[in-house]
Chains A and B, each alone.
Chain A
Amino acid sequence: MSRIAKQIFDWVDERAGLRELSDKMLNEPMPGGSRYAYVFGSILVYIFVIQLVTGILLMFYYAPTADHAYESTQYIINNVEYGWFILSFHFWSSSVMVVMVVIHMSQVFLWGAYKKPSELVWVVGTVLFVLVVAMGFTGYLLPWDQRSFWATTVGIEIADKVPLIGDFIGQFLRGGPTTGAHTINRFFVLHVMILPLAIMGLATLHIYLFRKAGPAGPYKGTHGELTRTSEYFFPRQVYKDSVAIGIVFLITCALAFYEPVELLQEATPEPGDYNPIPEWYFLFIFQMLRYEMFSGEWGQIIGSIVIPMAFMIWLVAIPFIFRNPERRLWKRKLGIATWALILFAVAWLTYDFSITEVH
């Protein structure tokens, strides 16, 4: 049997070049050898695949229309076997993905791995970051409960304030003046078609550019040492990635199991007792907009548009600002200080939100 299997494989391989392809994919020399520090890119690929699989499963029952979205989501949670788990797993994976993206980016930044020749890897990565956040935002509306409705309504009101094109963006996303039937269709097509295709394309480009530039490797060690200790991606790094992915899988399972998604009331512009709050990774900006300095028409534009845009531009520009080839952490005080400041600001704003009473 195995002889026949081998003959079939050889026949296919002769025509498709599978061995050569897999050799090229797996025999990627990693200077300095495999490490647990390198697992985050693979974790993100894994979560993306999980989101595709669970997302496709949810579409077997979900109806993206304003009159049935809520009911069909309730049906998934309450009636379809394991529906609650698949939906919750999808929900929690999105949060885990945001965390992993932040870790992945922080690591590349702190290691100086975005520096020449890897600038484009970083630039494409920042676009992927925006797409992942957009996936979170568009997915949030789909269950069509009060949480969904108000997060989207407020989110689009913010987009509406972008100078010149804001009104068009807002109307375009909503498909009209208010969050309603067209909005859910539009968010659905963004969430399940446009954004995933964009992520697939750009992630492929990201990995291609990464392979083209080669792994940055550790920031210390002589060339000779790194060559001597270098290892292929397979098997040791693939093993380490798998261990890390297993841990992420278990954490997500635990979150889905102990904190399953529960819907609030169906979406309606009558808030009742519900106090709108966005998903946790938007809380810092939510809290920021409460501050006096971001009040009024212009304060709000500064807080919700100018600062995030400036941050994104800074993010994209990082490889072109910090061009010194020095990669050692302790020699890059400005970069480290900026990174620490941003993370501290986000953490502090989120903490401040948690201690602010609505009174």
Chain B
Amino acid sequence: MLMQPKIKMKVVGSDRDVGEVANVIADPVAKTISHIVVRTGDRGQRVVPLDQIAEVSEDVHLRCSAVTVSGYPLLCRGDYTTVHQQEVAGLEARLDVEPGEILIPVPEGDRDIPRRGFFTKFTVAINAVLALPLAYPILKFLIHPMYGAYDNTWVKLARADQFSDVDAPRSYRFKKTLKEGYLERTFDKSHWAMKASPETLEAVYQGKDLEFRDKNGDVYWVNRRNVPYIVYSGKCPHLGCGYKWRSTKKYNMAFLCPCHLTIYNIAGSVLTGPAPRTLDVLPVRVTPGGDIETIDVEYKAGLVGRVRVI
């Protein structure tokens, strides 16, 4: 087998020296060297086919003369990539060349740059056309359960005759049945309720009836300031933990949230701690049968204002 020409080897024509090997050009299909690039004395680079090589020893000996070499085409560098830019599987194993640039011809159809741009743009456009109509259904699919209507049904918390002492809040459990998607579950939930002394009532309502409004701003319930029962949402307005009514070191009996340690007084005002607002007063009504009922409203925690979530 012919010894392969290497970069920087001297190239000798049939009559005289012509220059040196600047590059070798590989055939990516046959995975062999197809041409050598000869850097001639006048700095030109000529592409010489391999069959013009008579012998490779120390130097590359050509069959043709120096004049014939100068008749071969000049290297047009833009028509080639290198092995750094193109993966030709198994090429390296079959070439016996010094490390350096092995040139590989770009297919003729790909030398037309404007067409490359055209293909790139249309590939992006076609994919965008496919993807964009999917974006909306995917978004709707994902957000499907996120925004539902509020539930304004009344739930029974306690009986009015259970409240013998005033200002003695207790946590009252109730069963909540919730249908989320296809799944209906019943679980425990609780709110705080108490019979309030006139002072506490005054502190909570500050002489005004408390109106509850829905999304449109319409009033769906009014807590009259003279109804002595108060229900606080069981959710701490700081970050949504459950708080307790218990004795505290500094404030005696108070509402204390064990998470971030906000302490509220009997009227729901913050005595100490990070909560941004007072406890959430919920709608309350006393049925003719003597039941204390409320609407299971929940507000976002962490805000000064009340943003209803359920």
* A residues lining the B interface (CB < 8 Å): 65-67, 150, 153-154, 157-158, 160-161, 171-172, 174-178, 180-182, 268-271, 274-277, 286, 289-292, 294-297, 299-300, 356, 358-359
* A11–B159 alpha-carbon span in the complex (Å): 84
Closest B residue to A265 by beta carbon equals: B188
Any A CB within 8 A of the CB of B180: yes
Any A CB within 8 A of the CB of B100: no
- CB-defined A-B contacts under 8 Å, sample of 17: A66-B180, A66-B185, A150-B242, A154-B241, A157-B239, A171-B147, A176-B146, A178-B309, A178-B310, A181-B180, A181-B183, A268-B187, A268-B189, A275-B258, A295-B276, A297-B304, A300-B276
Establish whether residues A290 and B260, one from each chain, have CB atoms under 8 Å apart when the complex forms.
yes
Closest B residue to A301 by beta carbon equals: B302
- Residue of B145, B190, B303, B310 near A270 (CB, 8 A) is B190
Given contacts A157-B302, A271-B241, A300-B239, 11 further A-B contacts (CB under 8 A): A150-B241, A154-B239, A154-B259, A157-B301, A160-B300, A178-B298, A181-B180, A270-B171, A275-B258, A296-B274, A300-B276
The distance from the CB of A65 to the nearest CB of chain B, in whole angstroms, is 7
Any A CB within 8 A of the CB of B142: yes
Q: Which residues of B contact A176 (CB under 8 A)?
A: 145-146, 148, 180
Any A CB within 8 A of the CB of B173: yes
Establish whether residues A276 and B145, one from each chain, have CB atoms under 8 Å apart when the complex forms.
no
Closest A residue to B256 by beta carbon equals: A358
Any A CB within 8 A of the CB of B181: yes
Q: Which residues of A contact B176 (CB under 8 A)?
A: 269
Q: Which residues of A contact B234 (CB under 8 A)?
A: 269-271
Contact with A along B271-310 (1 / 0, CB 8 A): 0011110000000000000000000001011111000011
Q: Which residues of B contact A289 (CB under 8 A)?
A: 239, 260, 274
* A271–B147 alpha-carbon span in the complex (Å): 25
Establish whether residues B239 and A269, one from each chain, have CB atoms under 8 Å apart when the complex forms.
no
* A269–B234 alpha-carbon span in the complex (Å): 9
- Considering the complex, which residues of chain B in the window 178-214 have a beta carbon less than 8 Å from any beta carbon of chain A? 178, 180-181, 183, 185, 187-190
Residue in B145, B147, B173 whose Cβ sees the most chain A Cβ within 10 Å: B145
* A244–B238 alpha-carbon span in the complex (Å): 44
Establish whether residues B302 and A160, one from each chain, have CB atoms under 8 Å apart when the complex forms.
yes
- Residue of A171, A175, A294, A356 near B274 (CB, 8 A) is A294
Q: Which residues of A contact B187 (CB under 8 A)?
A: 268-270
- Residue of A172, A181, A297 near B302 (CB, 8 A) is A297
Q: Which residues of A contact B256 (CB under 8 A)?
A: 358-359
- Residue of A178, A270, A297 near B276 (CB, 8 A) is A297
The distance from the CB of B241 to the nearest CB of chain A, in whole angstroms, is 5
Q: Which residues of B contact A296 (CB under 8 A)?
A: 274, 276, 304
Any A CB within 8 A of the CB of B268: no
Any A CB within 8 A of the CB of B261: yes
Q: Which residues of B contact A270 (CB under 8 A)?
A: 171, 173, 187-190, 234, 242
* A268–B190 alpha-carbon span in the complex (Å): 10
- Residue of B173, B238, B275, B310 near A177 (CB, 8 A) is B310
The distance from the CB of A25 to the nearest CB of chain B, in whole angstroms, is 18
Establish whether residues A299 and B274, one from each chain, have CB atoms under 8 Å apart when the complex forms.
yes
Number of A-B pairs whose CB atoms are under 8 Å?
123
- Residue of A153, A275, A292, A356 near B240 (CB, 8 A) is A153
The distance from the CB of A256 to the nearest CB of chain B, in whole angstroms, is 28
Establish whether residues B145 and A271, one from each chain, have CB atoms under 8 Å apart when the complex forms.
no
Q: Which residues of A contact B273 (CB under 8 A)?
A: 290, 295
Establish whether residues A358 and B188, one from each chain, have CB atoms under 8 Å apart when the complex forms.
no
* A71–B158 alpha-carbon span in the complex (Å): 31
The distance from the CB of A275 to the nearest CB of chain B, in whole angstroms, is 4
* A248–B249 alpha-carbon span in the complex (Å): 44
Establish whether residues A65 and B183, one from each chain, have CB atoms under 8 Å apart when the complex forms.
yes
* A172–B147 alpha-carbon span in the complex (Å): 10
Q: Which residues of B contact A299 (CB under 8 A)?
A: 274
Closest B residue to A303 by beta carbon equals: B274
The distance from the CB of B235 to the nearest CB of chain A, in whole angstroms, is 8
Establish whether residues B302 and A180, one from each chain, have CB atoms under 8 Å apart when the complex forms.
no
Residue in B181, B190, B258, B302 whose Cβ sees the most chain A Cβ within 10 Å: B302
Contact with A along B7-51 (1 / 0, CB 8 A): 000000000000000000000000000000000000000000000
Establish whether residues A171 and B146, one from each chain, have CB atoms under 8 Å apart when the complex forms.
yes
Residue in A158, A182, A270 whose Cβ sees the most chain B Cβ within 10 Å: A270
Q: Which residues of A contact B162 (CB under 8 A)?
A: none
Closest B residue to A174 by beta carbon equals: B146
* A240–B183 alpha-carbon span in the complex (Å): 51
Contact with A along B131-158 (1 / 0, CB 8 A): 0000000000011011110000000000
* A276–B244 alpha-carbon span in the complex (Å): 12
Establish whether residues A276 and B146, one from each chain, have CB atoms under 8 Å apart when the complex forms.
no
Q: Which residues of A contact B146 (CB under 8 A)?
A: 171-172, 174-176
